Amino acid sequence: MPHQTKRNFSSSPVKIFASYYRPHWKLFAADMFCALLISAVDLLFPMLTRYTLEKLLGQNLLRLFAAMIALMVFIYILRLCFSFFVTYWGHTVGTYIEADMRRDLFNHLQELPFSFYDNHRTGHIMSRVTTDLFEITELAHHGPEDLFISVLTLSGSFILIVTIRWELALVLAVMIPLFVIHIAFSRRRLMAVSRKVKERTAEINASLESSISGVRVAKAFTNEDYEAEKFSAGNESFKLARKGYYRAMAFFHSKIEFMNSILMVTVIAAGGFLITRGRMNLADLVACNLFIAAFLQPIRRLQNFVEQFTTGMAGFVRFLEIMRMESDITDREGAVSLENVRGDISYNDVTFSYLKKTREADAAPDYQKKKHYVLDHISMAVPAGSTTALVGPSGGGKTTLCHLLPRFYETSGGSITIDGVDIRDFTLLSLRGNIGIVQQDVFLFAGTIRENIGYGKIDAADSEIIEAAKQADIHEDILRMPAGYDTPVGERGIKLSGGQKQRVSIARIFLKNPPILILDEATSALDTATEQKIQRALEKLSQGRTTLIIAHRLSTVRNAGNIIVLGDKGILQRGRHEELLAEGGLYADLYKAQFKPYKE
């Protein structure tokens, strides 16, 4: 992984933006040096023109005149080289900076907890990583360059015009503040409307991602027209935001162009007046007009800078909003690595809650919220090497209870220990490295079967991947596929059956070989024959490991060493299958509901 500069994202946006130039400062310095030489050529040309008209042509020095023309051509050839360097390598620096920002954002997203993803749509996040940073390349390249060249050219032109006629310099002195004031006020307006465009773009991305992901559902319910209308509404909102931005930009550019034209007319009028009074010659007027042309070029650069700044910084500010979000789940100071795990797990008076907006507060400006308790003072022990099943009605907190163990969420109260040590005293990397999770909703990456099984151990040899597949009872199925282990699985594993996807995910855990295992509804969406095949693989996987099973099908937990029944009020029952049936209560009711004969 390339070296990454540590940054303080709590400082000012401009300071943070400037810090991204540090790794590329040599290339950036060369870019700015070439920009300086371009500015010097632009300032030198009017002076050479004035000298040529006044001294060489005025005294009929034709050979020197020809030499001067050759010198001008040579200077502009050099300017061509400088311009190529600035255009190519300057944009390359911008691309490097954009890539660095995108890398930092992606790495930060990897560190944010589950709660962040619970509250943010995938399309919105995608927009921050991609669309919001598209204009950063132009801003990172042209921003400093345009400012640098503009300041040099404006100040140089002004000084040189003073040496020719102070009266014309006075015209510039009056006009420059008007330009600056207009640019400053326009920047605020453009920034606001540009941010609105970014937000509307994020909405479109979120809508598009949701519609594409749910296209099968939309077709099943014949709701294609509804989805098209929903997307069209978002697209219309984006179009209106874009129109607002272009309207503001049009006012900005047209006013600048008007002021440029008035400036040129004013200079010609003033110069003509001075010539008629004998206080200025034609060569001086030509030189001044060339300086005015050189003066207008940085004004146009500033126009472009304002446009790039508003679009680029609008995206950068949205980038900072994510980067300034702190994860509430981090390593404690002095956290140690979890090693030589026996697998004794203990939940000690564990409480988990989150802030939920109340119905009465929906319209309140301060969005008052109250705590919603998912788990309330839960205590239970899972001995090393044993299997504990969690059952009960939906919404009882079974999955949340298991997700607290690898610290996908942080407990609101109480503690969880592994081998007698609080899990918060372990590093997150080592804690999660010792826990394997098989979920009902299997996620496979859009790669090959080999890559998806190998995700359990990135550096695994082919022999290890094949052995894991055999243990998960998927090896023979893979060999029957067209490309074997190199068969693409499609988006989210769409090219595989439900049972095959589940067994690939089980093979992934076999390869990881964790001492602690969580099985979250791992067979609930499968037919009976496939369920039995996967159940055998899971039993093999559970051997010698501390296992937590979440199940609605009670047939899958009959042999569990301990069954815990969770309800709205916490743990309602605990014991073995036979004991709970004899005891009656919720477990017996659930069992009877699942296995009683169907009657008309």
What are the sequence ranges of the domains in the chain? 13-323, 329-434+519-529+546-600, 442-513
CB neighbourhood size of 17 (10 A): 21
| Residue 584, both tokens | 């009656």
CB neighbourhood size of 521 (10 A): 18
Enclosing H/E stretch for 129 = helix 122-129
Same fold, 13-323 and 442-513: no
Residue 123 φ then ψ, to 5°: -60, -40
Gap between the Cα atoms of 466 and 483, Å rounded? 14
| Cα-only R_g, the chain | 35
pLDDT at 17: 86
DSSP 3-state of 90: helix
Gap between the Cα atoms of 184 and 487, Å rounded? 58
Q: 369 - beta bridge partners?
A: 357
pLDDT at 348: 93
Give the start-end residues of each E strand in 147-300: none
| Residue 489, both tokens | 């699985």
CB neighbourhood size of 142 (10 A): 22
| Residue 474, both tokens | 């998927």
CB neighbourhood size of 71 (10 A): 12
Alpha-helical regions (H) of 410-497? 428-433, 449-454, 462-471, 475-479
Gap between the Cα atoms of 164 and 157, Å rounded? 11
Q: Mean pLDDT by 10-residue block, N- to C-terminus, for the chain (600 residues)?
A: 61 85 90 86 77 71 81 88 86 86 86 80 76 77 78 76 72 73 69 72 70 64 72 75 73 72 74 73 67 69 74 81 84 89 91 64 47 79 89 83 89 91 91 86 82 87 89 87 86 80 86 87 62 75 85 78 84 87 85 63
Gap between the Cα atoms of 381 and 361, Å rounded? 39
pLDDT at 367: 46
pLDDT at 416: 93
Cα–Cα distances (Å) from 481 to 487, 489, 526, in that order, read 7, 11, 21
DSSP 3-state of 60: coil
DSSP 3-state of 214: coil
Contact 254, 151 (CB under 8 A): no
Closest CA to 437 of 475, 404, 394: 404
Enclosing H/E stretch for 193 = helix 166-213
Residue positions counted in the chain? 600
Based on the number of CB atoms within 10 Å of its own CB, is 365 exposed (0-12), middle (13-18) or buried (19 or more)?
Answer: exposed
Contact 403, 375 (CB under 8 A): no
Gap between the Cα atoms of 55 and 47, Å rounded? 12
pLDDT at 346: 93
pLDDT at 528: 64
Contact 510, 468 (CB under 8 A): yes
What is the pTM for the complete model shown?
A: 0.70
Closest CA to 381 of 584, 571, 585: 571
* DSSP-assigned letter for residue 32: H
Gap between the Cα atoms of 36 and 86, Å rounded? 10
- Across the beta sheet with 387-391, the strand order is 435-439, 516-520, 546-550, 387-391, 562-567, 570-575
Gap between the Cα atoms of 24 and 391, Å rounded? 57
Alpha-helical regions (H) of 394-438? 398-403, 428-433
Cα–Cα distances (Å) from 427 to 142, 329, 384, in that order, read 43, 11, 21
Would you identify the CATH topology of the domain 442-513?
Rossmann fold (3.40.50)
Torsion of CA 476, 477, 481, 486, to 10 degrees: -80
pLDDT at 421: 92
pLDDT at 417: 93
Contact 547, 388 (CB under 8 A): yes
CATH assignment of 13-323, among 3.40.50.720, 1.20.1560.10, 3.40.640.10, 3.40.50.2300: 1.20.1560.10
pLDDT at 504: 87
CATH assignment of 329-434+519-529+546-600, among 3.50.50.60, 3.30.160.100, 3.90.1530.30, 3.40.50.300: 3.40.50.300
Contact 305, 150 (CB under 8 A): yes
- Give the pairing type, strands 546-550 and 516-520: parallel
| Residue 230, both tokens | 């929903």
| Residue 600, both tokens | 């008309």
* DSSP-assigned letter for residue 132: G
Gap between the Cα atoms of 453 and 460, Å rounded? 9
